[in-house]
Structure 1
Amino acid sequence: MTAPAPVILLDIGASLIEGPPKAPARFVAAALGLDEAQRKRLDRCLLTTAIESPADLAELLVGEFQAGRPEAERAAADVWETQVTGPSVIEGAGALLSALRDRGLRYGFVSNIWHPYAASFKRLFGPLAHSGLTVLSYRVGVAKPDPAIYRHALAAAGCPPENCTMIGDSYDNDMAPALALGMKTVWLMHRPDKERTYRHGVESGELPRPDLIVPSIAALTVDDAGVSSASLTVR
C-alpha cells in the first residue's frame, strides 16, 4: 500500500490573516458589559460552537449570558460586520499557499476560528483556501491547544505525525501540542512581544524547540524535495 503523501498544516488567524484589532469576545464583552470570566466563556463558545449567523449569536448572548435582546442583536450584528470586513492577508501568506498548490503538495488548515472569520479567510484567499483538509475549531467542537484537534487533523490527513508539519504563530496553541504529538513545526514570529515568554523558554532549553523559527511567513519558501522540516527554508 502506498504511504500517504506528507502534509503541511497551517494556522489561520495571525498566521495567514490578521485583524480587526479587537477579538470578537472582547468586542462583545465591551458592548454588553460582560466581566472577564464571562468574556473567557464567550470566547470558548465562539470557538467551539457552530454559530453561523448574527441571529445565532444573539440567541447565544440572550440565552447564555442574559443579555437584553435589543442589545444582543446590536452587538451580534456589529461584531459580525467587523469580522467579515476587518481581516486582511498577512504579507507572504498567499505566496506560500500558491507555492504549495503549484507544486502539488498537500496542505490544509487547523485553526481556532469562528464562522465569520472563516468566511473572511475564504473570501481573501479564494481557491487557495479550498483544501480537502480543513479542521476548524467551531466545526469540530474542540479548540487548541487540546491535542484532540490535531489528532482529528492527522486522522483526516491519513498520515503519521512525523510526516506532517504544523505552521503557526502561537507556541502554546500551535507548536507545543504539535511537538508533543511528534509533528514537525515552523514557528512564525509575527508577534515577538506576545511570544516573548515562550521564546525565552525555547532559548533557555526549558521548552522543546520547533524545527524552524522564522520572523514571518514571508520568510518561508518551499522547495521541490517534498514536505519536511528540511524543505521549508528561510529566504
Structure 2
Amino acid sequence: MDAIFWDIGGVILDSSSVRTAHERFVAELCERNALGEPDEVLGTWRAELGAHFREREGTTFRSAREGYERAMAAVGDVPAEEWEPIFERTLFDSIEPNPGAVETIEALSNRELHLGVISDVDTAEGRRILETFDVHDRFDSITTSEMVGRTKPDPAIFEAALDAAGVDPQRSLMIGDRYRHDVEGAKRVGMRTAAYGTEDGPAIDYRLSDLRELLEIV
C-alpha cells in the first residue's frame, strides 16, 4: 500500500471521552449559571446538537461549532465569551485516543508511505485533536469535510484526499468506524478498507479489533 487514511472520531479519538467532556462542560455551566438540573440541560443540549446535523441536506457540510452555538442558545443565555473557554478546556482536558492509535500512527509515519486523515470534523477542531495527542505532525495530509464542503460517504471527500496524496485508490487503505460513511464510501472510489468497531458488510477488506493489528496488515 502507498497510503493509509485515518478517520478521527471513533478511530483515533475515543468517542466515549467526548461524551464525558460534554457532560463535564454542561455540569460546570449549570453550576456557574444556575441553568437547571445538569442531566436535563445535557439532554436539551445534545438534542439540539443532534438536530443540527440531522437537518443538513444530504452530504452538505455543517459546522460543529455552529451546532454548539445552537445548543447553547437552547439551554440558556450564556455569552459566548463565557461558555467557549469552558468548552475548549473541558473538551481538550477530557478527550483520549483509542488504545493503540498513537503508537500505530507513530510507527506508520516511519515507513515509506503516505499517512493521511479523512474526517467529517471541523478543520480547526480536528487539527487541535491531533495536536492534543501529539500526532498532528505525523500526517502528510489532512482532509476534512469543511475543506471539501461535503461529508462522508460523498465521493468528493475521498477523492480530494487521494488527489492531495497523489496515490492510486487501489493502493490506499481507509480506516473507519462507520460502515456506510467510512467503509462503503471509501470502497465506492476504489479504496481498500479496514473496519474498526463497525458492523459487518461486504465492503470490508480487513477488520481490526485492535488498531495495532494494522501494522501487520500494512
TM-score (norm 1): 0.67
**Which residue number in structure 1 is paired with residue 108 of structure 2?**
100
- Segments of 4+ in structure 1 off by > 6 A? none
**2:9 partner letter:** G
Q: Decide which of 198, 205, 210 is 1:216's aligned counterpart.
A: 210
| Deviation for aligned residue 1:23 | 7.7
Q: Decide which of 13, 18, 21 is 1:20's aligned counterpart.
A: 18
Q: How is 1:1-235 mapped onto 2 (pairs within 5 angstroms)? A: 6-18=2-14, 19-22=17-20, 30=41, 33=44, 36=47, 38-43=48-53, 48-49=62-63, 51=65, 60-61=69-70, 69-70=77-78, 73-114=81-122, 115-126=124-135, 129-189=137-197, 195=198, 198-199=199-200, 202=201, 208-222=202-216, 231-232=217-218
CA RMSD of aligned residues (A): 3.4
The question of whether the paired residues in 1 share the 8 Å contact of 2:64 and 2:121 is answered with no
TM-score (norm 2): 0.72
Residue identity (%): 25
| Deviation for aligned residue 1:146 | 2.3
| Deviation for aligned residue 1:69 | 4.7
CA distance in 2, matches of 1:220, 1:50: 30
| Deviation for aligned residue 1:141 | 2.9
Structure 1 residues 132 and 110, CA gap change in structure 2 (3 angstroms): same
Whichever structure has more helix as a proportion of its residues is 2
CA distance in 2, matches of 1:83, 1:35: 15
**2:195 partner letter:** W
Structure 1 residues 17 and 169, CA gap change in structure 2 (3 angstroms): same
Structure 1 residues not aligned, in runs of 5+: 190-194, 203-207, 223-230
Structure 2 residues not aligned, in runs of 5+: 27-39
Give the secondary-structure state (helix, strand or coil) at the position aligned to 1:165.
strand
